[in-house]
Amino acid sequence: MKYTKIALKTTTEAVDFVSNLFDELGLEGIQIEDNIPLSEEDKKAMYIDILPELPEDDGSATVSSYFEPNKFDIEQLVNDIRNGLDEISNFVNIGEGTIEIDNTDDKDWINNWKAFFKPFRVADDIIIKPTWENLEHTEANDLVIEIDPGTAFGTGSHETTRLCILGLRKYINSTTELLDVGCGSGILSIIGLKLGAKHALGTDIDPNAVTATLENIEVNKISREQFTVLSGNIIEDAHLQQEVGLKKYDIVVANILADVIIPLSGTIQQHMKDDGLFISSGIINTKKLEVEQALLKNNFEIIETNEMGDWVSFVTRKRK
């Protein structure tokens, strides 16, 4: 199926006015392109550590929308937009105000990435298999983990996740109570349970992660008694802290970002047993020292520092 795209070149200061105009005319799914850098607050809210390099912000922006062919009379739609722009220009600089119409193929943007996610070994005896893929060959002792991350983070292919998995592989045993902070698709908890952990609890601020985790629990035949998942911010949410703190955990794993691990290191000990382990990853190497200093300041003993590519993982022990 084809879609029609309408794109209006304008200014960043006129974006809200133009977006409102599009909405009033029945254009849905509005897309905004500009070169405005994200604020520190936005970066933290979106869990972004490394940003792409953008051209210098020149104040320009493009507002676009897609719609099915024949939904609008294009000539009438363009006229309505131009009339709206004339009115908007009385209040704000609209810039170029040029309109472009194009046709584009229908693409499943949410699911197209699946073509590139294939089964792979994350360790000598651990295979990550997408739920929609077939596995042609396994060894007798292979542990096969089926994952569909949905819109949540966590396929296991990224270096940060691999570092956590290797840490769990080394330290989990049959009595392990595991806490997975920022569980994403649930991959680390599922692997922990498959490696023999007694119980796992996952937390994530994204409700989509909770949905993905529950689906992946089911496909990996893990019972709800073995795995609990909660939504919320464990650093700031007192109610969630209370729920999580009903028991103490042998291992806490957090594959997030340096800017989250730093404050987390100051609060997570309340959920840990004496001598419990805190495995942290998602740390870009340029922030290695900053995270290391926070861990030491917050009474953790660093027992391993592991690196893969540009990423760092710390295995630390809670001091009594």
Classify residue 120: in a domain, yes or no. no
Which residue, 72, 87, 105, sits at the end of a domain? 105
If asked whether residues 80 and 188 sit together in one domain, one would say: no
| pLDDT tens, position by position, 253-288 | 999 889 899 999 999 999 999 999 999 998 989 999
If asked whether residues 180 and 246 sit together in one domain, one would say: yes
Which residue, 86, 105, 124, sits at the end of a domain? 105
**What is the C-alpha to C-alpha distance for residues 259 and 65, in angstroms, rounded to an integer?**
34
Mean pLDDT of 169-193: 93
Classify residue 98: in a domain, yes or no. yes
If asked whether residues 205 and 75 sit together in one domain, one would say: no
**What is the pLDDT at residue 53?**
53
Mean pLDDT of 43-57: 52
Mean pLDDT of 7-19: 92
Structure tokens at 62: 């493009």
Q: Which residues, 6+ apart, have CB-to-CB distance to 51 below 8 Å?
A: 37, 38, 43
Classify residue 121: in a domain, yes or no. no
**What is the pLDDT at residue 155?**
53
**What is the pLDDT at residue 120?**
77
If asked whether residues 307 and 166 sit together in one domain, one would say: yes
State the CATH number of the domain containing residue 235: 3.40.50.150
Classify residue 148: in a domain, yes or no. no
Structure tokens at 306: 């592991």
Classify residue 141: in a domain, yes or no. no
Classify residue 140: in a domain, yes or no. no
If asked whether residues 96 and 171 sit together in one domain, one would say: no
Mean pLDDT of 61-66: 91
Classify residue 118: in a domain, yes or no. no
Classify residue 269: in a domain, yes or no. yes
If asked whether residues 240 and 92 sit together in one domain, one would say: no
**What is the C-alpha to C-alpha distance for residues 174 and 86, in angstroms, rounded to an integer?**
70
Q: Which residues, 6+ apart, have CB-to-CB distance to 216 below 8 Å?
A: 146, 147, 148, 185, 186, 187, 190
If asked whether residues 211 and 273 sit together in one domain, one would say: yes
Structure tokens at 174: 């049959």
The three-state DSSP-derived secondary structure of 91-156 is CCCCCCCEEEEEEEECCCCCCHHHHHCCCEEEECCEEEEECCCCCCCCCCCCEEEEECCCCCCCCC
Check whether 110 has a pLDDT greater than 70. no
Q: Which domain, by its residues, includes 35? A: 2-105
Mean pLDDT of 213-238: 91
What residue has token string 């939904």?
71
DSSP code, position 36? P
User: Residue 156: which pLDDT band, with cuts at 50, 70 and 90?
Assistant: low
User: Residue 46: which pLDDT band, with cuts at 50, 70 and 90?
Assistant: very low
What is the total count of domains within the chain? 2
Check whether 187 has a pLDDT greater than 50. yes
If asked whether residues 74 and 181 sit together in one domain, one would say: no
Mean pLDDT of 298-314: 94
State the CATH number of the domain containing residue 7: 3.30.70.120
Which strand ranges, in their side-by-side order, compose the sheet holding 126-130?
120-123, 126-130, 143-147
